[in-house]
């Protein structure tokens, strides 16, 4: 059975991170299910949810590091870096309509 290219790439990333070939499909399935649940939220709120999932399920994900996690999500069509930027803009940028931030 030939796997789709995205799935082959994701599994290669997961096994490259040290997960056994027997466990890799299960790990990918866990990440896919989380991505499907998180996808129901606004883009600006997805980043912390993904990071919380990564932190809380770290043992279940066989200690996949954050970069590998982001690369696997990219195989699923999730751009974690874009979501992080959206979240940071929403939560870290000073409000422009509530206060005058100019000097002088």
Q: How does DSSP assign 56-78, residue by residue?
A: HTTTTTTT--HHHHHHHHHHTT-
For residue 39, give the 3-state DSSP assignment: coil
Q: Pull the structure tokens for residue 67.
A: 């970069």
- C-beta separation of 16 from 75 below 8 A: no
**Cα 96 → chain centroid:** 29
pTM metric for this prediction: 0.81
Can you give the pLDDT at residue 54?
92
The predicted pLDDT at position 103 comes to: 56
Say what the pLDDT of residue 98 is: 53
Low-confidence ranges of the chain (pLDDT < 70): 1, 93-104
pLDDT score at 93: 60
Q: How many CA atoms lie within 13 A of 8 on its CB side?
A: 5
Q: How far apart are CA 40 and CA 72, in angstroms?
A: 19
């Amino acid at each position: 059975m030939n796997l789709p290219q995205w799935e082959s790439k994701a599994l290669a990333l997961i096994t490259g991170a040290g997960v056994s070939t027997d466990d890799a499909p299960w790990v990918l399935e866990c990440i896919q299910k989380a991505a499907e649940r998180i996808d129901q939220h606004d883009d600006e709120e997805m980043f912390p949810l993904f990071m919380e999932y990564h932190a809380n399920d770290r043992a279940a994900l066989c200690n996949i590091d954050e970069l590998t996690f982001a690369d696997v999500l990219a195989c699923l069509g999730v751009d974690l870096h874009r979501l992080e930027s959206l979240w940071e803009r929403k939560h870290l940028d000073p409000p422009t309509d509530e206060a005058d931030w100019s000097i002088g």
